[in-house]
Amino acid sequence: MENWQAILASVTFISVIVLIITEWLHPTIAALLGALLLVFVNVMTLTEAIGYIGRSYSTLALFFGVMVLVRAFEPTKIFEYLATQIVLLAKGKGKNLLLGVVAITTSICAVLPNATTVMLLAPLLPPMAEEIGVDFVPLLILMVLIANSAGLLTLVGDPATFIVGDAINISFVSYLQNLSLGGVIAVLTIVVMLPFLFRKIWRKELPDLTHLPHPQINHPRVLAIGTVIVAFVLVFFVVGESLPIPLSPAAVALMGAALALLLAHHSKIDTLNNILRDVDWSTLLFFMSIFVLIGGLQKTGVIAGLSDAFAAILGTNVALASLAILFFVGLASSVIPNIPLVVAMVPLLKEYVVNVGFVGPEVLSSNFAGQFPAEILPLFYAMMFGATLGGNGTLVGASSNIVAAGISEQHGKRMTFKRFLHYGIPVMVCQLITAAIYVIVCFFLLSNA
């Protein structure tokens, strides 16, 4: 590939990240302009750009489906009602509220992808924060940090974890045995930091709960049917891919959205146009543009070149390589959304283990169904930790971050890059350090004892 194309793809990507970090442009506008620039200067054709978007269709379909599902039931006031109940259970104390957000988010992320969890739970936070008298943006950021961390609890908790796990053919049970403890440690790291990171909310107390608004649920019959639809979606999220005819989470989400639209239209609680108008199209367009930008780096060989340099530096020292991958992917994931980053890094890591002689070239086949040698699995485990926890660093690091930012903007407050950084960087640094200790102790020290 021509050198000028690789340089241009790199400069364009870095420029988009700078524009987002400095907040000179809205993230979606910056990413869209960058993606279209690659097309206009012929780094890739429009067909190729759409192809890169198409490779990640499942992510876009999942987000769209859940967005529609959540929005369709807003007229029932269920989110306001649940928010009030949570404040009452917290007894008006900010400390209890923060711990409640941690507990609820962690529990659901054990069975659902973290971005899906954020889409389902985030609408509760603005009314909840209003009732207790605090800013809802830090609560949204906390939910995102916990969701990303709890995504390590199971194989299906985070798309990045699932992508890497699928690449090395790890089973659900094997994942629980080897890696779930790392997810627990990641969540506990944030819990320890709560009184310092969220000091104002931690100390907040609402002395009189009698004056809280008590919203009533509208359209209870519609909500009852809607609950069945949501239950259907949640169940098939968990078991869909193990059925004789597999159903992907994206297909389940789209079916749930279609049923929700049918229910809203038939019951006349809202119109189709209103629901679709309120979908967070900005977030979806941002992801499409980022997929094109990453595609530009892939096509021009930038990522492959980085992988070759990585292999040359690290050689065959698995422990050193694991730590380097954890921190490299972690830092990279703080500025590159972790889903496309992992999609790009998995084949490159496979090439690395082949080039240095750990495994044969058969692992490069897309049909390879065998097991990787146990001694090199920490390399892939480190990638899981790095991609998932590194996503906590900045606003663009993970899909759930972008989803939360879109929800925040829909409720009248913008989650700025700088504000997220205030919470994200300390959490990311502490979590990457604890993850490095976990990887070294569990997979090198204890395994060799």
Q: What residues pair up with 205 in beta bridges, in sequence order?
A: 93
* Residues written for the chain: 449
Q: What SS3 class is residue 168?
A: coil
- State the Cα–Cα distance between residues 383 and 339, nearest whole angstrom: 12
Residue 369 lies in a domain: no
Under the banding of pLDDT at 50, 70 and 90, the label for residue 247 is confident
| CA dihedral for 184, 185, 188, 194, sign (positive or negative) | negative
- State the Cα–Cα distance between residues 408 and 411, nearest whole angstrom: 5
203, burial (CB in 10 Å: exposed 0-12, middle 13-18, buried 19+): exposed
Residue among 142, 57, 55, 155 at smallest CA distance from 105: 142
Amino acid present at 74: E
Residue 177 lies in a domain: yes
Average pLDDT, the chain: 84
Residue carrying the six token digits 């049970």? 173
Q: How many helices (H) and strands (E) does the chain have?
A: 23, 0
Residue 436 lies in a domain: no
Residue 289 lies in a domain: no
pLDDT digits (tens, 9 = 90+) for 188-243: 999 999 999 999 889 887 666 566 666 677 888 888 998 899 888 878 877 777 78
Residue 402 lies in a domain: no
Residue 430 lies in a domain: no
Q: Taking 60 as the threshold, does the pLDDT of residue 449 lie above it?
A: no
- State the Cα–Cα distance between residues 52 and 292, nearest whole angstrom: 6
Residue 89 lies in a domain: yes
pLDDT digits (tens, 9 = 90+) for 336-354: 777 767 877 887 788 788 8
**371 DSSP 8-state letter:** -
Residue among 283, 398, 288 at smallest CA distance from 32: 288
Identify the pLDDT of residue 1: 46
Residue partners of 180: CB distance under 8 A and separation at least 6: 152, 153, 154
- State the Cα–Cα distance between residues 172 and 169, nearest whole angstrom: 10
Q: What percent of the chain has pLDDT over 70?
A: 93
| Of 165-174, 262-271, 393-402, highest mean pLDDT | 262-271
Q: Taking 70 as the threshold, does the pLDDT of residue 333 lie above it?
A: yes
Identify the pLDDT of residue 388: 93
Q: What SS3 class is residue 93?
A: strand
| Domain carrying residue 107 | 59-154+171-281
DSSP 264-325: HHHHTSS-HHHHHHTS-HHHHHHHHHHHHHHHHHHHTTHHHHHHHHHHHHHTT-HHHHHHHH
Residue 274 lies in a domain: yes
- Cα–chain center distance at 122: 14
- State the Cα–Cα distance between residues 299 and 196, nearest whole angstrom: 44
pLDDT digits (tens, 9 = 90+) for 43-97: 999 999 998 888 778 778 877 888 888 888 888 877 777 767 776 777 778 888 8
Count structural domains, the chain: 1
Q: What pTM did the predictor assign?
A: 0.77
Q: What residues pair up with 93 in beta bridges, in sequence order?
A: 205
Q: What SS3 class is residue 205?
A: strand
Q: What SS3 class is residue 1?
A: coil
